[in-house]
Amino acid sequence: MLAGGWSVPADNDFIPYIYFYPVEGSGSINAIPSDKDNLLFSARKVTMNLPTMKPPCSFPDTLKIYPSQYDFSTQDFADANGILIPFNYLRLIPRASTEPGYEEYMVFDVYMVTDNSDGTETKVYKGYTKPCPPYCPVQ
């Protein structure tokens, strides 16, 4: 669970980044939040087990699961007052990186998803994770 001010840039608990690290030999990925100084909050990690995701998560064998980083602070998850925009969850969709020299790296397109009362959902594209290296300041 993230602290109350995680979405407010001026708050000491602001979380601008989430790092994604593969779990060796398991097909799982740990999502770990980080503060503005790149201090990882390992106790707040979430493990995504790709082989058992519902719906199933599949990707070409040519893609490699390397670390990647997502920058919340540039994606407008909060209004001008730092109040989090309501949504139900984030959907991460794997794809190949388009960064030159890193095309074999798996990155994720990130969508903010809201479940509607009529059973439909609203998806808003919120960017993508970037491969480490070259983008992550913490290795």
**Residue 34 forms part of a structural domain:** yes
CA distances from 91 to 21, 84, 88, 138 (A): 17, 17, 10, 24
User: Is there a domain that residue 10 lies in?
Assistant: no
- Report, as an integer, the average pLDDT of 18-46: 82
Domain, as residue range, for 98: 17-131
pLDDT(121) > 60: yes
More confident residue, 105 or 57: 105
Per residue in 48-85, pLDDT (tens digit) is: 777 666 666 667 778 888 889 988 777 777 777 767 77
Structural domain count, the chain: 1
Q: Report the predicted TM-score, pTM, of the whole model to 2 decimal places.
A: 0.78
Half-sphere exposure of 116 (CA within 13 A, CB side): 6
